[in-house]
């Protein structure tokens, strides 16, 4: 349970994380690396599932590109402790991308690497530097280009707002008695991970851009507005007392949860604090604003996330009508089986809801795979199998769906332990997940899908019997056939 918890934390990180072991020869000289763990962001950045990265050596991973392997070895060859916070920007030819790399030596011969795609930033900076060289003889133009380069270093690449560097600079500049009272507002966009997981990073970026536009429109022209984290924003306002700050907060809240961006609700949490005299510390002002923001987030986040789950499901059903029909049939079959197994009425309702939501994670699967006619290949199947984990992440973000999230995670586990994603076996699999597995399999067999042929009711029952005790709970399978399908159990 603890390992699963930590894995979720790493996967939710907005930064790519690689944990690798340095392989040294008999003389202690580094010659290769073994990838021991990567998070979801790395899968996206390197365009490979973790199963095609973890366990490989760097020489195997870069087998078609010796130049990238040599650069990897050059950057990470030191087997000793690495200076925390060291940062480098490297170009990996294999991916035609620039990456910012922060390294930490956890212990000798092991390295934790934080990976961020900075291709856009490098492109802009290189372009400006090239222009500077071109205009080197024109002092006025050069000065203008240098100013552009300076501004770029203080700006968030996505939103155009300030970044942490600008905030730190402005905070030090404004923290003077002549500027008191100084108001600090902290804002956090709710559900960004849910948006990224459910609809992709483009959807999450759209939420951030919309919120940035709201801040620019509502805040005074001289306000310092900075995006300082994935979903975190800070606003500094000089000569602004609590009354003015409250008026701004109220204006921002008047738009809160009332805007939809690509089928997602834009919702955010806000908190503020005011510095009125020199004896107050800006760090304490920051903490107070943060505490108020988190209180606001705790009050409103659950409702927003529940609404977002509804929108994600509606979006999936809108894109794929067959999934809507499939979900409804699985819900009905699951409720029927739960009733026949003696579940109490409130639990039967819960099972029906789980049936309706069981494939919500497919919203994050590539359209080409979901729409493909005929059999999917092994790599497409690996991608498709992510939908149960993705569905779990989406639903686990809402307190009301926490229990259902666990059922969704396990609905492709098998009685014999050969299912996914955890390889649970027999009674280790939640009862509701065992019900969903039967209902989904039967509906998939008896209704035309893009990747298999439609079976008759008798053919499907024969398959259920053949797989009882292997794929399905044998007792549940028998009850399903005899009491739900009203057919005799084949002898």
* CATH for 67: 3.30.450.20
- 96 plus 228 within the same structural domain: no
- 277 plus 210 within the same structural domain: yes
Task: Report residue 81's pLDDT band, with 50, 70 and 90 as the boundaries.
Answer: very low
**Which secondary-structure segment (H or E) carries 129?**
helix 119-134
Task: Select from 463, 456, 450, 404 the least CA-distant residue to 430.
Answer: 404
DSSP bridge partners of 472: 468
DSSP 480: I
Distance of CA 123 to the CA centre of its chain: 26
Task: Domain count for the chain, please give it.
Answer: 4
Select from 246, 271, 305 the last residue of a domain: 305
- 457 plus 328 within the same structural domain: yes
- 71 plus 182 within the same structural domain: no
The whole-angstrom separation of Cα 165 and Cα 98 is 21
- 148 plus 225 within the same structural domain: no
Average pLDDT over residues 312-318: 83
- 112 plus 131 within the same structural domain: no
DSSP 454: P
- 27 plus 110 within the same structural domain: yes
Distance of CA 195 to the CA centre of its chain: 7
- Predicted local distance difference test score (pLDDT) of residue 139: 57
Mean pLDDT, the chain, whole residue set: 84
The whole-angstrom separation of Cα 190 and Cα 206 is 13
What is the CATH classification number for the domain harbouring 426? 1.10.3210.10
Neighbours of 9 (CB within 10 A): 9
- In total, the chain counts a number of residues equal to 491
- Domain membership of residue 64 (yes or no) is yes
Give the torsion sign (CA, 234, 235, 238, 240). Answer: negative
What is the CATH classification number for the domain harbouring 287? 3.30.70.270
- Domain membership of residue 15 (yes or no) is yes
Task: Report residue 135's pLDDT band, with 50, 70 and 90 as the boundaries.
Answer: low
- Domain membership of residue 311 (yes or no) is no
The whole-angstrom separation of Cα 124 and Cα 157 is 10
Average pLDDT over residues 341-348: 94
H helix intervals, 320-421: 321-340, 345-357, 367-370, 378-384, 387-396, 402-409
The whole-angstrom separation of Cα 401 and Cα 393 is 10
CA angle 401, 405, 411 (to 5 degrees): 140
- Predicted local distance difference test score (pLDDT) of residue 30: 81
Select from 270, 305, 340 the last residue of a domain: 305
Task: Give every CB contact of residue 381 below 8 A, 6+ residues apart in sequence.
Answer: none
- Predicted local distance difference test score (pLDDT) of residue 213: 94
Task: Report residue 127's pLDDT band, with 50, 70 and 90 as the boundaries.
Answer: low
Give 436 or 56, the one with higher predicted confidence. 436
- 273 plus 401 within the same structural domain: no
DSSP bridge partners of 260: 265
The whole-angstrom separation of Cα 416 and Cα 428 is 11
- Domain membership of residue 490 (yes or no) is no
Give 18 or 83, the one with higher predicted confidence. 18
- Predicted local distance difference test score (pLDDT) of residue 73: 73
Contact 480, 445 (CB under 8 A): no
- Domain membership of residue 312 (yes or no) is no
- 293 plus 351 within the same structural domain: no
- Predicted local distance difference test score (pLDDT) of residue 216: 94
- Domain membership of residue 360 (yes or no) is yes
Does 102 have pLDDT greater than 50? yes
The whole-angstrom separation of Cα 337 and Cα 144 is 72
Give 308 or 136, the one with higher predicted confidence. 308
- 330 plus 463 within the same structural domain: yes
Two tokens at 163?
Answer: 């970044």
- 136 plus 185 within the same structural domain: no
The whole-angstrom separation of Cα 88 and Cα 71 is 12
Determine what percent of the chain is predicted with pLDDT higher than 90: 43
What is the SS3 assignment for 150? helix
Give 257 or 151, the one with higher predicted confidence. 257
- Predicted local distance difference test score (pLDDT) of residue 427: 93
Determine what percent of the chain is predicted with pLDDT higher than 70: 85
DSSP string, 243-266: HHHHHHHHHHHTTTT-EEETTEEE
The whole-angstrom separation of Cα 269 and Cα 303 is 12
- Predicted local distance difference test score (pLDDT) of residue 92: 79
Give 202 or 236, the one with higher predicted confidence. 236
Select from 117, 143, 174 the last residue of a domain: 117
Residue 94 belongs to what domain range?
2-117
Task: Select from 117, 271, 267 the least CA-distant residue to 186.
Answer: 271
Task: Give every CB contact of residue 205 below 8 A, 6+ residues apart in sequence.
Answer: 158
What is the SS3 assignment for 47? coil
- 60 plus 128 within the same structural domain: no
Does 28 have pLDDT greater than 80? no
- Domain membership of residue 313 (yes or no) is no
Q: Whose structure tokens read 């991608």? A: 383
Task: Report residue 409's pLDDT band, with 50, 70 and 90 as the boundaries.
Answer: very high
The whole-angstrom separation of Cα 11 and Cα 7 is 6
- Predicted local distance difference test score (pLDDT) of residue 62: 81
Does 320 have pLDDT greater than 90? no
The whole-angstrom separation of Cα 391 and Cα 384 is 12
């Amino acid at each position: 349970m603890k390992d699963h918890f930590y894995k979720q934390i790493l996967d939710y990180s907005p930064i790519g994380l690689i944990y690798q072991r340095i392989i040294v020869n008999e003389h202690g000289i580094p010659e290769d690396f073994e990838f021991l763990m990567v998070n979801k962001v790395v899968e996206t950045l390197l365009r490979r599932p973790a199963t095609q990265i973890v366990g490989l050596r760097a020489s195997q991973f870069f087998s078609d590109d010796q130049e990238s392997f040599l650069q990897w070895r050059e950057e990470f060859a030191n087997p000793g402790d690495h200076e925390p916070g060291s940062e480098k920007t490297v170009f990996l030819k294999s991916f035609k991308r620039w990456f910012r790399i922060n390294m930490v030596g956890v212990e000798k011969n092991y390295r934790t690497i934080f990976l961020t795609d900075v291709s856009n930033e490098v492109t802009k900076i290189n372009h400006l530097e090239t222009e500077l060289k071109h205009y080197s003889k024109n002092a006025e133009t050069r000065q203008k280009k240098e100013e552009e380069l300076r501004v770029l270093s203080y700006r968030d690449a996505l939103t155009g707002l300030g970044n942490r560097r600008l905030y730190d600079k402005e905070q030090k500049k404004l923290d003077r008695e002549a500027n008191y009272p100084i108001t600090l507002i902290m804002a956090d966009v709710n559900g960004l991970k849910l948006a990224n997981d459910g609809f992709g990073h483009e959807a999450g970026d759209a939420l951030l851009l919309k919120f940035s536009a709201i801040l620019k429109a509502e805040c005074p022209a001289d306000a310092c507005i900075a995006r300082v984290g994935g979903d975190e924003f800070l606003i500094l306002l000089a000569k602004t007392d609590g009354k003015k700050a409250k008026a701004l907060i109220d204006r921002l809240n008047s738009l809160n949860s009332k805007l939809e961006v690509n089928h997602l609700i834009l919702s955010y949490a806000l908190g503020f604090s005011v510095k009125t005299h020199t004896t107050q510390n800006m760090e304490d002002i920051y903490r107070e604003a943060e505490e108020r923001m988190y209180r606001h987030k705790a009050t409103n986040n659950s409702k927003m996330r529940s609404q977002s789950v509804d929108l994600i499901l509606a979006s999936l059903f809108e894109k794929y009508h067959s999934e809507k029909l499939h979900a409804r049939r699985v819900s009905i079959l699951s409720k029927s089986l739960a009733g026949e197994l003696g579940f109490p009425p409130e639990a039967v309702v819960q099972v029906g809801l789980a049936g309706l939501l069981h494939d919500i994670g497919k919203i994050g699967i590539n359209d080409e795979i979901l729409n493909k006619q005929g059999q999917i290949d092994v790599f497409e199947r690996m991608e498709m199998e992510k939908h149960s984990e993705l569905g779990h992440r989406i639903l686990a973000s809402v307190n009301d769906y926490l229990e259902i999230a666990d059922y969704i995670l396990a609905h492709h586990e098998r009685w014999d332990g050969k299912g996914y994603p955890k390889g649970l076996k027999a009674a280790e699999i939640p009862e509701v997940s065992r019900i969903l597995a039967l209902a989904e399999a039967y509906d998939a067999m008896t209704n035309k899908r893009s990747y298999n042929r439609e079976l008759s009711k008798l053919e499907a029952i024969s398959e259920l019997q053949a797989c009882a005790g292997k794929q399905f709970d044998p007792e549940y399978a028998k009850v399903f056939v005899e009491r739900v399908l009203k057919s005799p159990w084949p002898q």
